Structure 1
Amino acid sequence: MAVSTSTTTLPLLFLHRSTASPNPTALSFASPLRASPLRSRASASASAAPPAETLADDLPSDTPPVGEGSGIPMPSSIGEDGEELAPKQKIRIKLRSYWVPLIEDSCKQIIEAAKTTNAKTMGPVPLPTKKRIYCVLNSPHVHKDSRFHFEIRTHQRLIDIMYPTAQTIDSLMQLQLPAGVDVEVKL
């Protein structure tokens, strides 16, 4: 017994907002899909329904226009809020060290110095550890398969200081950090 299957491609249904009414609840079907022969029952019931413009007129007038009270920010308000949220000036400190306890102590010193001057700190954020592996031959002539592998791990931390003052910068300049910590400061 052979079963034949026929495949038909159905058009995708797309909803779009009606251009006549700014209300987001008034939706209508896209124009090429209104008279689709595949949806005879749906098109018959859609033709009996009133147009979308009359539905939008029946709604109460206290619904806000799109963007005002709907939670969707308008493009003009994004720039204003972005300036308030982003700090005008920040200090980014990047620390590098081969030894983890040394870099952790340095981070604590920097954060304490910033907090005593009422500056907001973010971090320390641990960045990925960089591993440099060196391969050295054990014997230069006969035993080429015998090799030593040495690696150096560089641990990194990132600290951001928001809204620094002159006192914050002075307290950071007076810190005595260990010699095994590389400090990179960006304003």
Structure 2
Amino acid sequence: MNYKKAIKFTFFSFSLKILDSYINNFLYFLDSYFVIYKGPICLPLKIKKFDILRSPHKDKDSRDQFEIRNYKKVIYVYVCNNILFTKIMNLSIPSSIDVNFSMQYVFS
């Protein structure tokens, strides 16, 4: 079996538009340095729903409903040296996006 060392970037956001625009910029950056990558892979949408009573004293059937949608995407970067990794870490990230990264070994 042939393994490759890869860096897994996981992006989280509540807004799909902001997440897609940032990932397009991220992929453009990777393409400019001729980096081999795989993705973006869309992970399942997580929806949390909340019901809140409008009035605490009467009319218990009257409720407001809210939901929070969490979007998640993954990109695997296969060829990455220390200089390129520091340039990736220096990219400006919008405040509404969370990024996690980890080193993994992946089948080639």
* CA distance in 1 between partners of 2:75 and 2:46 (Å): 18
What is the match of residue 141 of structure 1? Answer: 57
1:114 aligns with 2:30: yes
Q: CA RMSD in A?
A: 1.2
* CA distance in 1 between partners of 2:26 and 2:41 (Å): 13
* CA distance in 1 between partners of 2:89 and 2:99 (Å): 12
How far off its partner does 1:168 sit? 2.2
How far off its partner does 1:144 sit? 0.5
Letter in 1 for 2:8: R
Q: Greater share of helix residues, 1 or 2? A: 1
TM-score, with length taken from structure 2 = 0.87
What is the match of residue 157 of structure 1? Answer: 73
Of 180, 184, 187, the residue aligned with 2:96 is: 180
Q: Greater share of strand residues, 1 or 2? A: 2
Q: Percent identity?
A: 24
Of 3, 11, 14, the residue aligned with 1:98 is: 14
- Give ranges in structure 1 of 5+ residues lacking alignment: 1-81
Computing the radius of gyration from Cα coordinates, the structure with the larger value is 1
Could you say which structure has the greater relative contact order, defined with CA pairs below 8 angstroms and 6 or more residues apart?
Answer: 2
Aligned-partner SS, 1:142: coil
The 4+ residue runs of structure 1 with deviation greater than 6 A are none
TM-score, with length taken from structure 1 = 0.52
* CA distance in 1 between partners of 2:43 and 2:32 (Å): 26
- Structure 1's 160 and 168: CA in aligned 2 closer, same or farther, altered over 3 A? same
